[in-house]
Structure 1
Amino acid sequence: MQENVSDRLVGTLVDNRYAVQSKLARGGMSTVYLATDQRLERDVALKVLHPHLATDDTFLGRLGREAKSAARLSHAHVVGVLDQGYDGQTAYLVMEYIKGHTLRDVINSKGALPPRLALALIDPVVEGLGAAHAAGLIHRDVKPENVLIADDGRIKIGDFGLARAVTTSTSTGALIGTVAYLSPELVLGKQADARSDIYSVGIMLYEMITGQQPFDGEVPIQVAYHHVNGTVGPPSDLVPGLAGEVDELVQWCTANDPENRPVDGNALLQELRHIRTNLTDSELDLQPPAALAAGPQHPTEVIARISNPTAVMSPFSHPGPQHRPEEHATSVFPATPHAQQQPQMQPAAEHAPFFPPAAVPLSKRAQRKAEREDEKARSRAAATPVRNLREGNPRRRGALWVVIIVIAALLATGAGWFFGMGPGSPGTVPPVANMTVAQAQQLLSDAGFQSRTNDVFDDDVPSGLVVGSQPEAGAEIRKFQPVALFVSKGPQLFGLPKLTGKSLDQAKDELNHAEMALGNITEQFDEAVAAGVVLTQDPVSGTPARHGTPVNLTVSKGPQPLPVPAVVGQDQDDAVKVIEAAGLKAVVAPETVYDKTVPKGAVASQSPSSGTLTRGGTVTLTVSKGPKMVKVPSYIGKQASEARRELEKLGFEVRVNNILGGFFGTVRDQDPVNKDVPEGSLITLTVV
């Protein structure tokens, strides 16, 4: 059914703005399309959520807040979130379109990667996560499918906020994520933080180096079991000769206890780059065994949160009828299964085999750390008294027990106060959106919370007011945990590019690159600027504006065309004045011509004679010398027919007057005769 919905979207217009071109990929929560933003004339990635998510109003509201948080993060290695909306039954996210492939494609095609390539690919991912963590954002679904590699080599991590929005909106307490990369605390339903993303990075780095994921199982819950109860082994078990520093890096990231991992992406980035700098070329270029290929992949799963790790089914027990893994790509486990629905559960300690940690050669740094720990242990042992209290003195032992009981009671009372009424007691984060900082801090203080502020850009919330908090309103946390307030700096403004003097196509490209919108286009004639070139822009270049601001352009139509006036037959001076008054230039040809119809000194012809010219265009005038003078010969006594023929050859007009019917056809008289007359004059013949 979802495939049919997806197919119907291709070729349609979503929200009257996004023209869907083709389907790019399909995942556990959404389908991604290539679309064109018709307003900004650029390609985008349109992520359309599956129908069961699009009908959940609570989820849609949370998704909008998560999308806003992600949109405020602008970093070279994070896929930008551009828009979010709801069109009928279609809920969507609009993201930056990265033309290329994913890290999953690299692993599938190459299998295990040399350390140099693996560390180079993971570096921008960690840098992007570090920027997100600094802004208070947690990804929650770091995996190779979400690492995008552009054709030009840029590497970006995408899908911020979606897994969090889906996880928090489910009513059953189910957790959505890719089971192969889930941290133990996410599986157990505990609060996630930046260190949860670090765990996923460590699993991903392990897979890049070995070509395989560290944990596998017939069903997703078995993989989740390993995350909670197991330990990620060193990659060198599969890649002999791998540098000890790389082993330590992977196991540092994948420590079961979050307290033993890097605190965030920036802390991991420093160590990662230190290792890349200090490893030798031979260690960096170590080729993994040819037999290491890409291992099994786990798609996005819906799994139950595990509240008691000892109650998790052993990964070696087989619940009910067995199915092939490919028949259940997405598994659903209820959050609170009843006994009749749940396979028989056994304590993990009774059935889970114990795998002793492999011996890993320690690096010099690790050796120094071990030596320091050993010295501390010896110092503590030396300071510990080895003599027991004197035996045989019951009164002293009794007093000691009284003291111990009193101290224990005080500690219990203090702990009860701390976790019941004191800073360790639970509390609900109040809503602080659209408040002033002072109001929000006072409200949090009254609720028993401490707060810190982070300035962020926001297009909707006025500057100086609180956009939201982390944890967000309604979350229940211990009161000693700080609450981060995100304070609006107003919309982020960018200087408008200079568009004047550029062609209209170049101006459109500049606006797209600056993520601004094309406003109204006005055309006007300009004598100095060629057609199609931008004359002015509004607002002017350099004006601070938010993304999507429309920019109006005035574009040249080139010089204005002027009609050529007709001046043939006019006096030369008058004709020149008429042409110059029309904005054109008159040029008189040096040669004059005879013209039997145009008097001397008047314009006999012009070039061009009609049409249009641009201002200052040239019209050439040819002036008449008047008609040509021709001597009229005498044809008296000759036949009239011959006389007519000869006179017409000379360009004269001939008229014949017959006397007595012109019986003889002889010219008796001629007027004029033997005189110079203008060419074309009338010659009268009297014929008898």
Structure 2
Amino acid sequence: MLNMGVIVGERYEIVGCVGSGGMADVYKAKDHKLNRFVAMKVLKPEFSADTNFIRKFQREAQAAAGLAHPNVVNVFDVGEDQGINYIVMELIEGITLKEYISKKGRLTVKEATSIAIQVSMGLEAAHNRNIVHRDIKPQNIIISTDGKVKVTDFGIARVASSNTISTNAMGSVHYSSPEQVRGGYSDFKSDIYSLGITMYEMVTGRVPFDGDTTVAIAIKHLQDEMVPPSQYVPELPHSLEEIILKCTQKSPDRRYSTLAELINDLKHSLIDPNGSFVNLSPLSNHAQTIMITPEEMKQIQNGGYNTSSFYEEDDDDEDDDDEEIYEKPSKKKRRRRDEEDEDDEEDEEDDDERGGVNTKLEKAMTIGGLIIGGIIICILIYMVASAAGLVSLGSKKDNDADTQKEQAQDATDETVNKVTVPDLTGKTEEEAGTELNAQNLGKKKGGEEASDTVAEGLITRTEPAAGTQVDKNTQVVYYVSTGKAEEDTNVTIPSGLVGESLSSVQSTLQDLGLKINVEKQQSSSVEVGKVISLNPGEGTSVAKDTEVVITVSTGEGDKMVAVPNVRGIEASEAEATLIAQGLIVEVEKSDSEDANVAYGEVYAQTPKAGNRVEEGTTITIKVRTEGASSSTGTTTDGTKVEAGQWAAIEPKLKKPDNYQGGNVQLRLVQDGDGDQEEGGTVIMEGSPIDFDSNGGYYSVGSIVGKDGVESGTLYLAEQQEDGSYQTLWSYELKFSEVE
């Protein structure tokens, strides 16, 4: 496994391990180039020398890279760095559908239908690009913290050819279609069958076919009739049951032809739950139960078809029966299948790897051909260049010297282009301008602020801070001292508030200690939610606690809009969403104990989402903040956080997926603490953490950090059998000065 802090591909820093499987490990990493967190799937070292595994590993990225859909996990990058083969994917904070079903027992009809529609839409995008997933199951469906459903793990996906592909790869046996179990072919309707099994499990809490062995389960898919889900859930709507039964027909011809048809029926079932609109094709009069021949039974039991699903490690570790159904086929049977599938290019590659062709000879011939071709191309290029007078033999040394000189110059230029931000504290604006110009840096006044240490009119601080290495021509923002803060009962209403959003103006005036009274007024010239006027007006000096009347535009009126659901998203994004609908936003901040939303996110809204209201209606959103109800807190050892200290007030930690319940060490690392593996300050050690009784979160007492340092990383490590601690996860914390 990769250690914390390792840089892969010169941009991805390993932050923590998310999970580990048979052939690959999944890490949380930080992309320093784009400044975002990503998920990185890394092939284990023991498989990195096998070109077959590497090709199959890269197939997942190739299959999913072209899919840009909200219900499919995005693939950002794929590469290799010093023997490390990796795929970089979108990091989804959430749980798998399997975990969600296990937690709830079974889902409600609306939940199951909504999830099925979103999965169908993601699969439809894949099918439109001729990609068959072939391993749809709850373990490969992720529900994010904001309620979005995404399909992941295209590890055994392939591009379909003529709607049908030969295959020797199959997903988990509980969700495999009869044609996959039989080993004949897999097409788009195989995904529909697996989705039907997944819907069955969502509404009943169980899979339709189970057994002691994988072979027994596979045979049930081929021969046994499915118990209707209504026998387990009598209140299940008739239409949804018929949809599930149509998806799971043993004959592909009797299933839905496309996912578009399935999506239409699922949406129709929400409107008409007990309708009979699902068109189930009747069996022919002479239809009989198809029995497996002794030869086919022998093939299945002897491993005639194997499940070489490569990416079973992500979610299948909890269910060993799903991971590997059959042993590999014998050479004789493989040879017979190779001859039958010789037209399939992918199978030809697999045949070569299994011994159908002397791979060493083929590699030698390939390498030899490439070398000869390269020599011929070089000779032709040289002859053309020589004829044009562009090169000569005598100039090779000079060219090499010039190249080395250019490389050295480039390195020098890169160093020269970096300059250090000077310390401007205590200097005048004119002096600051002179120093910055000497360093080829720009300047911009960021504002004024009170200071007990810097005299009025002098600079208090800069952004970036003094001593930071920056590129030339970088603009440095400075702040000027207004002297010591004086207690004054009067405040001045700032200018520039008219025309701004209501929530922004409210926040500004409340910070000045003023009371707010909002009045609404229709206007055809001012946008909905924007301030028309203030009373007292801008620039007026008033006493604190004075009431300011804010007149806000409600638009032209007579227009109804639907209230969007903004619960669980950032306050700024929620405000923008509501304003875009022509609604006025009021923000209330409080230290809610709602563990289902993070700090800075909306935990309640009034009116509720889905209501239709008139344009210009005020929507109140409640935002969870750190320590909004109190400016002090306590540390993990119960010590009071004093005014003037820099602290993170009661951050809540999400449970790592790989935490086993052992003793925990919490270690805070901030700027200047040195090695991330060993540096920093241990703030808790030697006892386990109970995440489950708090909805998967743990509330840490307020953590005191270094004075003036606004950020830090909290590392969570679990004690191993040898007494050492292994880091499982990291949390980014924000620190602010306690008043």
TM-score relative to the length of structure 2: 0.40
Q: Which has the larger radius of gyration?
A: 1
TM-score relative to the length of structure 1: 0.42
